[in-house]
């Protein structure tokens, strides 16, 4: 296991020693950070980056020999549980021989260890915006956070600041659903536009969660048919395919260095961008 590069705020040795023998008291998530709260109030924090996977390995179960390739993203996923391989960077050995495994082919992921009280001062966590699946994600708070913002919608939504947890896929999906152009500027939106976005964000996330769960369960067929994957994503990965609202061809552009798919007909750009 190579545990060097992904540990960001301490040395691998300190990281290992700090975790040794500690019980996991609770698990949580904030934005794209996974948080393992340990019994002494210290914490292990994981960011999966683009290709990271945290999986549970049960000593009583067989390993899967191969990985399934996600038809949309091209990323390898284990169908059930896998043996550590050259991309497995950390193993946490639990009681009775089970393990938590961290695997990350592209190595954009990050691991952090925080002493009690330290995590609160961790900027990337502290400055995250509102949680779109929380009960506190309500229209007045959303509008208040968004209305003063300036700049293009796509980078604004990717920034994690007004709203946490959205990545490239779900930003494109939310913008498609709310009929907003990814390059449209925040200051040009009226409350109705913001309202559409406010409704779209939790919707695409919930659909993703629901869908991903079922896909993983269906994934025991080698390279077989997959559940509702194709129907779920309306924009991402569908460049040159017909818009599911208006049948016109979806278009791929690059916005803040990220691949972006949108419908030129439904998601009209502001006049300035034409």
Partner DNA sequence: AGTAATCCCTGGCAGC
Partner DNA sequence: TGCTGCCAGGGATTAC
User: Contact residues for DNA (CB under 7 A)?
Assistant: 5, 31-32, 47, 49-51, 69-70, 73-77, 86-87, 105-108, 124, 149-152, 155, 158, 160, 167-169, 185, 212, 256-259
Q: Choose between 70 and 118: whose C-beta lies nearer to DNA.
A: 70
Token pair 């779109």: residue: 132
Q: What is the smallest separation between the CB atom of 232 and DNA, expressed in angstroms?
A: 12
Nearest partner of 116 among 22, 196, 235, judged by Cα: 22
d(CA 2, CA 15): 13
Closest separation in Å from C-beta 70 to DNA: 4
Q: Which two tokens stand for residue 68?
A: 């399934």
Q: Which is nearer to DNA, 98 or 241 (CB)?
A: 241
Nearer to DNA among residue 96 and residue 274 (C-beta): 274
Shortest separation between residue 95's beta carbon and DNA, angstroms: 30
Tell me the H-state helices in the chain: 12-19, 123-126, 139-146, 153-158, 168-177, 191-218, 229-232
Nearer to DNA, 162 or 198 (CB): 162
Select from 158, 159, 125, 129 the least CA-distant residue to 142.
129
Report how many helices (DSSP H) and strands (DSSP E) the chain contains, helices first: 7, 11
Spatial contact of 105 and 76, defined as CB atoms under 8 Å apart: yes
CB distance 182 to 151 below 8 Å = no
Q: Provide, rounded to whole angstroms, the least separation between the CB of residue 12 and DNA.
A: 14
Smallest distance from DNA to CB 138, Å? 23
Nearer to DNA, 17 or 221 (CB): 221
Shortest Å distance, C-beta 162 to DNA:
11
Which tokens sit at 178?
A: 């709310």
Shortest separation between residue 168's beta carbon and DNA, angstroms: 3
| 158 versus 204: smaller Cβ distance to DNA | 158
Q: Toward DNA, which CB reaches closer, 34 or 94?
A: 34
SS3 content of the chain, % helix, strand, coil (to 5): 30, 25, 45
23-45 burial by CB neighbour count: b if 16+ within 10 A, else e? Answer: eeeeeeebbbbbbbbbeeebbbb
């Amino acid at each position: 296991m190579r545990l060097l590069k992904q540990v960001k705020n301490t040395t691998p040795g300190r990281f290992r020693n700090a975790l040794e023998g500690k019980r996991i008291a609770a698990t949580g998530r904030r934005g794209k950070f996974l948080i393992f709260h340990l019994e002494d109030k210290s914490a292990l924090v994981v960011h999966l980056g683009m290709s990271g996977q945290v999986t549970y390995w049960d000593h009583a179960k067989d390993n899967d020999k191969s990985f399934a390739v996600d038809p949309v993203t091209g990323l390898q996923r284990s169908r059930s549980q896998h043996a550590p391989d050259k991309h497995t960077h950390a193993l946490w050995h639990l009681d009775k021989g089970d393990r938590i495994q961290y695997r990350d082919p592209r190595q954009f992921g990050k691991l952090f260890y925080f002493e009690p009280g330290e995590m609160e001062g961790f900027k990337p966590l502290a400055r995250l915006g509102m949680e779109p699946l929380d009960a506190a994600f309500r229209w007045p708070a959303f509008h208040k956070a968004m209305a003063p913002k300036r700049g293009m919608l796509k980078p604004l939504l990717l920034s994690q600041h007004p709203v946490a947890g959205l990545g490239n896929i779900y930003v494109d999906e939310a913008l498609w659903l709310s009929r907003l152009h990814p390059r449209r500027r925040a200051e040009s939106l009226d409350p109705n536009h913001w309202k559409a976005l406010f409704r779209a964000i939790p919707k695409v996330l919930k659909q993703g969660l629901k869908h991903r769960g079922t896909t993983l369960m269906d994934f025991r067929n080698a390279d077989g048919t997959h559940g509702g994957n194709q129907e779920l994503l309306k924009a991402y990965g569908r460049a040159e395919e017909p818009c599911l609202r208006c049948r016109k061809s979806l278009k791929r552009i690059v916005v803040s260095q990220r691949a972006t798919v949108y419908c030129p007909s439904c998601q009209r750009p502001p006049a300035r961008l034409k």
